[in-house]
Structure 1
Amino acid sequence: MIKPRTKTPEIHIDLVNDTKWTLSDQKPEHFTMVIFYRGKHCPVCKSYLETLQKHLDAFSKKGVNVIAISSDTKDVAKATYEEWDIDGLPLGYNFSIEDARTWSLYISEGVKEEPKHFIEPGVFIIKPDQTLYASSIQTMPFARPRITDLLNSLEYVINQDYPARGEA
């Protein structure tokens, strides 16, 4: 488990727009928000990321960089980007199961049409020095923090200079 106020693992990830993204290269005014999602097979993820996309400008105005990452292959991730209404959302793919475990993410075995193994959702809010501010990790596709709740909470956190909690 990554404790708040401690450095997070590094992320180097390929994006569907054929660029690369590195966590330590991010220079947000306030935070980087990394959202791990289950993959294209998940209708709850589709809804979550489409809602996130609608609020990208609001996150940006608050000084928050956003990325969504899955363990999907390049082809599947590119199809996700084309088929879902998530234009403008940085979308990373091929996040390994081993790397997911370093982030304390849950891993599921696929059933029916799902991939053999995939990561369960997680939201990580990371300070510019790459230390963890807050996280929410799920074992299922539901029970994620609502996007609007995240926006409202971040506004309070930023305005009140509220410290990371849960470090003890």
Structure 2
Amino acid sequence: MIKPREKAPELSIELVNDTTWKLSEQSPENFTLILFYRGKHCPVCQKQLEQLQKSLPKFTERGVNVIAISTDTEEVAKATHKEWDINDIPLGHSFSIDEARKWGLFISSGIKQEPEFFAEPGLFLITPDQTVYW
């Protein structure tokens, strides 16, 4: 389990725009906000990310870089990005269950139309030196 004032695990994640995002390459003025969400199957996550999209200018004004990440496959994440109103949020995909555990995220087993396993939501504020703040 990660705790505040500890160094965050290295994080390198593929984005839906076919680039790679790395925590070690972030240089926010104040923080990097990492939002882990369940995936496309989660209507609550859709609402949360769409609200984040609306609030994104406020985060930018405050010097906070934002990224949203799920364990969804590339194909599912690209569909999510296309169908949800989240155009300006960097959207990471294919986050492994093992990596999710390193971040202390709970892992759920899917039912019905859900993936076999997926990470439960988590929200982290990371300082520019990659220390967990919150």
> TM-score, length-normalised on structure 2?
0.99
- The amino acid that maps onto 1:81 is H
Gaps of 5+ in 1: 135-168
Q: Which residue of structure 1 aligns with residue 114 of structure 2?
A: 114
Q: Percent identity?
A: 63
Q: Which residue of structure 2 aligns with residue 66 of structure 1?
A: 66
- The amino acid that maps onto 1:97 is I
CA RMSD of aligned residues (A): 0.4
Gaps of 5+ in 2: none
> TM-score, length-normalised on structure 1?
0.79
Once the two structures are superposed, residues 76-121 of structure 1 have per-residue CA deviations (whole angstroms, 9 ceiling, x without a partner) of 0000000000011000000000000000000000011100000000
CA distance in structure 1 between the aligned counterparts of 2:2 and 2:75, rounded to whole angstroms? 31
| Number of residue-to-residue matches in the alignment | 134
Runs of at least 4 residues off by over 6 Å: none
Rg bigger for which structure?
A: 1
CA distance in structure 2 between the aligned counterparts of 1:49 and 1:29, rounded to whole angstroms? 22
After superposition, where does 1:10-159 map in structure 2 within 5 Å? 10-134=10-134
CA distance in structure 1 between the aligned counterparts of 2:38 and 2:3, rounded to whole angstroms? 23
- The amino acid that maps onto 1:76 is V
With CA pairs under 8 Å and 6+ residues apart, which has the higher RCO, 1 or 2? 2
Once the two structures are superposed, residues 120-143 of structure 1 have per-residue CA deviations (whole angstroms, 9 ceiling, x without a partner) of 000000000000000xxxxxxxxx
The alpha-carbon deviation at position 3 of structure 1 amounts to: 1.3
Q: What SS class does the counterpart of residue 101 from structure 1 fall into?
A: helix
